[in-house]
Amino acid sequence: MLLGCVADDLTGATDLALTLTREGLRTVQINGVPKGDLDIGEVDAVVVALKSRTNPAQEAVAQSLEAARCLRAFGARRLMFKYCSTFDSTDHGNIGPVAQALLDFAGGDFTVFCPAFPRAGRSLFSGYLFVNGVPINESPMKDHPLTPMRDGNLCRVLQRQTSLPVGLVAYGDVDAGPDAVAGAFARETAAGRRALILDAISDAHLRTLGTAIADLPLITGGSGIAMGLPAAYLKSGLINALTPAPTTIAAPAGRSIVLAGSCSAATRGQVARAIAAGMPALRLDPNAIAEGTTTPDTVLAWLDAVSGDSPALVYSSADPEAVKAVQGRLGVQEAGHMVEALLASVAAALPAKGYGRIIVAGGETAGAVVGALGASALRIGPEIDPGVPWTASLSGPPLALALKSGNFGGEDFFLKAWDRLR
Ligand SMILES: Nc1ncnc2c1ncn2[C@@H]1O[C@H](COP(=O)(O)OP(=O)(O)OP(=O)(O)O)[C@@H](O)[C@H]1O
Ligand SMILES: O=C(O)[C@@H](O)C(=O)CO
């Protein structure tokens, strides 16, 4: 095992595991730090999925260090910390403190930060993060329920979270190739900088960066920063061969369901499209959950009444005004946890009701749902859309799971994803 990764949420972990698999590393995703022995077979990379993105920083640091120790015990010689391609965090939050703690753990003079994921529309130029060509602080991410992003300059954002001096390796150096990037690393570290933001606006940049960072004990970023690693590892002899990615996955027979707790613009569009196409859908109102009129039993009774084999959709996704109103009434964390707990209870009952194919939208939501399903490890299957594969549960009931990051996927995602299983 070469590369050990700590991901701060579940859909993000799947996104990274997909990238590594597509690029030729045999990769397994483990959901949570494994408590006992876990047979993961022969692999090149392991991604441990945490649910730490919005936890208090000290908790996130402790969990991430526990995951890093476990990855070391599996034999990892390189570490990566995976966060969101939209750098989701607050000024008190977690990317800076976790990266700093992992750097102390892994050793090394400096580490790098690169959330860029051009295939999903995330690019970084002069340290500014863009989403589909729009500065992140003008994108729908400014209204995220838990981690609103109101500053597009990642050097500033990161410096508010860490005492490590922050530097930048800008477009000109990245575009000039691995040697220029190595030169920029030398320049920045000579000036005392230990947390280097890396520009990237294309896959070619990510491959250049892969070559330049392959020897660092710790790297941090979105899934994109891992794109160039497998080829670089092969070139430097750290692995012997690349393994072709699977094109299919065995999916258990059974009913299909979408559980959507993400309120992102992309997920709301996917919900609207599925409903317009006639998918049976149940909207969850957090107020009704708080009042006790919507419970796991009322949702399961609704599912029992849905006839036919058509996938069903259960969603709490709501627009930013509705989310703010609910959060004002119930509290930000409380509202989130309440919806997550309800979806988790529903999920726990699904296998016994014959559901074998489940899409979950939203990282926090997926963390809660997958925990309830007991799916502690996942094998990565074919890609549905950039960043989202089908996966097969390696523990608990046999399940095909697609864990969709809130912002990922085309508008027809909930309609077309099933076709990849046939
Ligand atoms: N109607 C609602 N009102 C308030 N909070 C909600 C509502 N529906 C869902 N939530 C909460 O909002 C949070 C959404 O976070 P989640 O990580 O699941 O989605 P996301 O942030 O869009 O996805 P990702 O993290 O993959 O980008 C969850 O805690 C969820 O329970
Ligand atoms: O990087 C991304 O955008 C995703 O993998 C993710 O982390 C969303 O939760």
pLDDT at 396: 86
Pocket around ligand 2 at a 6 A CB cut-off: 9, 11-12, 15, 84-86, 222-223, 363, 387, 405, 407
Tell me the CA–centroid distance for residue 408 and ligand 1, in Å: 14
Report the CATH number of the 255-421 domain. Answer: 3.40.980.20
* Of residues 216, 252, 254, the one with CA closest to residue 236: 216
pLDDT at 30: 96
Mean pLDDT of 353-372: 95
User: What is the residue extent of each domain of the chain?
Assistant: 3-235, 255-421
Mean pLDDT of 20-26: 97
pLDDT at 253: 87
The predicted-structure confidence for 373-402, as pLDDT tens digits, reads as follows 999 999 999 999 999 999 999 888 999 999
pLDDT at 195: 98
* Of residues 207, 240, 17, 219, the one with CA closest to residue 118: 207
Tell me the CA–centroid distance for residue 407 and ligand 1, in Å: 11
* Of residues 310, 365, 305, 301, the one with CA closest to residue 339: 365
Q: How confident is the model at residue 422 (pLDDT cuts 50, 70, 90)?
A: low
Q: Is the CB of 262 under 6 A from ligand 1?
A: yes
Same fold yes or no, 3-235 and 255-421 = no
Mean pLDDT of 205-218: 98
The predicted-structure confidence for 141-159, as pLDDT tens digits, reads as follows 898 878 889 999 999 999 9
Q: How confident is the model at residue 91 (pLDDT cuts 50, 70, 90)?
A: confident
Q: Output DSSP code: residue 200.
A: B
Identity of the amino acid at 145: P
Question: Is the pLDDT assigned to residue 41 strictly greater than 90?
Answer: no
When the candidates are 3.40.50.10840, 3.40.50.140, 3.40.630.40, 3.40.50.720, the CATH number that belongs to 3-235 is 3.40.50.10840
Q: Kindly state the percentage of the chain with pLDDT values over 70.
A: 100
Q: Is the CB of 49 under 6 A from ligand 1?
A: no
Residue length of the chain: 422
What ipTM is given for this predicted complex? 0.97
